């Protein structure tokens, strides 16, 4: 190899080595590469032109790299701040489908439910009756759609429509507002609600139909708005003054919400405590106790129960004559529930006095139930409202992932007792009901329910076609979607 070729090769090697060193970003490597270039220039390995061109090139590369890194840091910082500020805006909210403003103070959330029921009836007919009084039924038990949310953080709202057409297989013959109210909830210890809403009375009644342990409420609970205050128009003061404690105090239009009657307003109150939470601030178990009371004056009334737990179409109980007004109606209830891990027991006792101008009628009732989650899920309890909620499956049903959902079994006994009241012809004043249930919680939005219900009467009740029965039986199935 000639001397000139050796020199060219050496220059190429030197420049390559310098380029590698210059490509490293740490300052120590950049200084070393410049020292190496200076040495090669001094020894004549490279020319001044080579030296200048390489220094200028590496300078531009270093400036471009620093600029790019600075821009990347700025862009990442801006993106993180944007995501943090708008984390939930316009997205599916944790508790349903909805949107909220960037500051989180204004929200709107869609809610709804569809309960599709099938009921297969069987009866023990009274002597001399041959006609089956009830037809098997397939109906949309409930179909509701609504919105709820808040504005300016402290104002809450909800409006729900209940859709029904009796001639089309719906359980209701009309479409109406189910609930519609506004809360001022700046202080969780003392909030105010105005509109149409569930009155503060009875654990079973206040538990959403999406979350009750059986397809239908107990015998006394079937007569809502008469025996159990239901969804009525009024105003309520409510809150949670301490962990595990809740109260509600309402003034209600009572029967005037659904009928053209001239009653005085009802005063309705309920107080509950989860004793385990209240005294130990622990969620290891639930020990719920509550008391409810209602007082009001009616223009006149004939006490009547709506139906059995199988939703038989004719009331099994009705007083033989009306109470003449004014009638002082007093309603009282005691409630208790204990839940430990997957097991829960729950019960309520109700007492009613109707003091009319012509006489006084008294009746009472109760239920006791137990449920067990076979797949181990704990029971969902709200300390701020004193009610139970949805069973969230540990493993939602999925063929791909192998989840089986949550499975629950339950047993309930309930009693309706108006034995001191004379009844109309074909009616009865006592009934006992037993319900066995199996529920499959598929996921957070879907469940299937299978109930077998038997009701025994102390006399003869009238079915829908006029036939007398002494025992009512039904197998009931529900497919439910709610969000």
pLDDT in tens, 120-160: 988 777 776 666 667 788 999 999 999 999 999 999 999 99
User: pTM of the full predicted structure?
Assistant: 0.78
The helix or strand, by DSSP H or E, that contains position 196, with its residue range, turns out to be strand 191-198
Length of the chain: 483
Residue 24: which of 75, 72, 70, 62 has the closest Cα? 62
pLDDT at 328: 95
Query: For residues 345 and 369, what is the distance between their CA atoms, to the nearest angstrom?
Result: 6
What is the CB-side half-sphere exposure of residue 19 using CA atoms within 13 A?
A: 10
The helix or strand, by DSSP H or E, that contains position 10, with its residue range, turns out to be helix 3-23
More confident: 164 or 303: 303
pLDDT at 462 over 60: yes
User: From the CB of residue 401, how many other CB atoms can be counted at a distance below 10 Å?
Assistant: 8
pLDDT at 92 over 50: no
pLDDT at 47: 79
Query: What are the tens digits of pLDDT across the range 412-453?
Result: 999 999 998 998 888 889 999 999 999 999 999 999 999 999
Q: How confident is the model at residue 25 (pLDDT cuts 50, 70, 90)?
A: very low
Give me the mean pLDDT over the 346-373 stretch: 96
Mean pLDDT of the chain: 85
Residue 314: which of 137, 122, 466, 140 has the closest Cα? 466
Largest Cα–Cα separation, the chain: 135
pLDDT at 72: 74
Strand partners, 187: none
pLDDT at 11 over 70: no
Quote the percentage of the chain above a pLDDT of 90.
57
What does the H/E/C string look like for 316-353? CCEECCCEEEEEEEEEEEEEEEEEECCEEEEEEEEEEE
Strand partners, 456: 432, 471
- Give the range among 3-17, 248-262, 304-318, 343-357 with minimum mean pLDDT: 3-17
Give me the mean pLDDT over the 17-42 stretch: 57
pLDDT at 26: 43
Give me the mean pLDDT over the 77-91 stretch: 62
Query: What are the tens digits of pLDDT across the range 310-355?
Result: 987 678 888 889 999 899 999 999 999 999 999 999 999 999 999 9
More confident: 84 or 290: 290
Query: For residues 351 and 266, what is the distance between their CA atoms, to the nearest angstrom?
Result: 16
Give me the mean pLDDT over the 29-34 stretch: 58
Output the CA–CA distances (angstroms, integers) from residue 349 to 34, 199, 202, 248, 292, in the order listed.
92, 17, 9, 19, 10
Query: For residues 378 and 285, what is the distance between their CA atoms, to the nearest angstrom?
Result: 9
pLDDT at 18 over 80: no
pLDDT at 125: 73
DSSP 13: H
Q: How confident is the model at residue 224 (pLDDT cuts 50, 70, 90)?
A: confident
- Give the range among 104-113, 309-318, 400-409 with minimum mean pLDDT: 309-318
- Give the range among 78-82, 198-202, 280-284, 438-442 with minimum mean pLDDT: 78-82
pLDDT at 170: 62
Contact yes or no for 470/319 (Cβ under 8 A): no
Give me the mean pLDDT over the 90-109 stretch: 75
Contact yes or no for 145/158 (Cβ under 8 A): no
Give the β-pairing of 381-382 and 360-373: unpaired
- Cα-atom radius of gyration of the chain, to the nearest Å? 36
Instruction: Please give the sequence-ordered ranges of beta strands (E in DSSP) within 226-307, or none if there are none.
Output: 231-239, 245-252, 266-274, 286-301
Contact yes or no for 391/405 (Cβ under 8 A): no
pLDDT at 223: 77
Query: For residues 186 and 261, what is the distance between their CA atoms, to the nearest angstrom?
Result: 36
Contact yes or no for 253/265 (Cβ under 8 A): yes
Query: For residues 280 and 273, what is the distance between their CA atoms, to the nearest angstrom?
Result: 12
Query: For residues 224 and 206, what is the distance between their CA atoms, to the nearest angstrom?
Result: 11
More confident: 189 or 126: 189
Q: How confident is the model at residue 283 (pLDDT cuts 50, 70, 90)?
A: confident
Q: How confident is the model at residue 208 (pLDDT cuts 50, 70, 90)?
A: very high
Query: For residues 432 and 459, what is the distance between their CA atoms, to the nearest angstrom?
Result: 12
pLDDT at 73: 75
Query: For residues 224 and 209, what is the distance between their CA atoms, to the nearest angstrom?
Result: 13
Q: How confident is the model at residue 274 (pLDDT cuts 50, 70, 90)?
A: very high
């Amino acid at each position: 190899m000639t001397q000139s070729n050796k020199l060219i090769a050496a220059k190429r090697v030197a420049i390559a080595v310098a380029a590698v060193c210059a490509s490293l970003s740490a300052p120590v490597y950049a200084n070393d590469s410049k020292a190496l270039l200076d040495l090669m220039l001094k020894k004549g390995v490279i020319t001044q032109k080579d030296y200048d061109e390489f220094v200028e090139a590496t300078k531009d590369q270093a400036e471009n790299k620093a600029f790019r890194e600075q821009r990347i840091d700025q862009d990442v910082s801006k993106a993180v701040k944007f995501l943090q500020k708008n984390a939930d805006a316009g997205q599916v909210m944790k508790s349903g489908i909805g949107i909220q403003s960037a500051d989180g103070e204004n929200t709107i959330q869609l809610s709804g439910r569809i309960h599709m029921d099938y009921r297969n009836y069987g009866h023990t007919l009274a002597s001399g009756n041959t006609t089956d009084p009830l037809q098997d039924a397939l109906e949309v038990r409930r179909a509701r759609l609504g919105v709820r949310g808040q504005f300016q953080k402290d104002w809450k709202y909800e409006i729900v429509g209940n859709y029904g057409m009796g001639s089309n297989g719906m359980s209701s013959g009309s479409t109406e507002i189910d609930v519609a109210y506004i809360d001022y909830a700046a202080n969780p210890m003392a909030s105010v609600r105005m509109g149409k809403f569930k009155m503060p009375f009875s654990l079973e009644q206040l538990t959403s139909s999406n979350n009750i342990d059986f397809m239908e409420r107990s015998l006394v609970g079937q007569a809502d708005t008469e025996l159990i205050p239901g969804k009525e128009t009024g105003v309520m003061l409510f809150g949670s003054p301490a962990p595990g404690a809740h109260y509600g105090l309402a003034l209600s239009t009572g029967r005037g919400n659904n009928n053209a009657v001239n009653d005085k307003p009802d005063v309705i109150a309920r107080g509950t405590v989860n004793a385990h939470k209240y005294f130990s601030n622990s969620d290891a178990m639930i020990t719920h106790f509550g008391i409810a009371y209602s007082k009001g004056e009616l223009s006149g009334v004939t006490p009547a129960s709506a139906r059995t737990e199988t939703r038989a179409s004719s009331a099994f109980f009705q007083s033989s004559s009306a109470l003449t007004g004014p009638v002082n109606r007093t309603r009282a209830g005691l409630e208790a529930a204990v839940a430990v891990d997957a097991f829960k027991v729950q019960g309520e006792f109700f007492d009613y006095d109707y003091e009319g101008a012509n006489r006084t009628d008294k009746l009472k009732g109760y239920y006791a139930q137990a449920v067990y989650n076979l797949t181990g899920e704990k029971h969902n309890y709200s300390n701020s409202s004193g009610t139970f909620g949805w069973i969230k499956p540990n493993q939602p049903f999925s063929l791909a992932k192998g989840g089986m959902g949550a499975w629950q079994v339950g047993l309930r006994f309930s009693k309706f007792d108006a034995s001191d009241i004379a009844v109309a012809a074909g009616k009865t004043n006592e009934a006992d009901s037993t319900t066995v249930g199996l529920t499959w919680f598929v996921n957070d939005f879907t469940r299937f329910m299978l109930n077998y219900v038997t009701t025994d009467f102390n006399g003869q009740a009238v079915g829908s076609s006029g036939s007398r029965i002494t025992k009512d039986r039904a197998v009931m199935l529900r497919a439910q979607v709610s969000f």
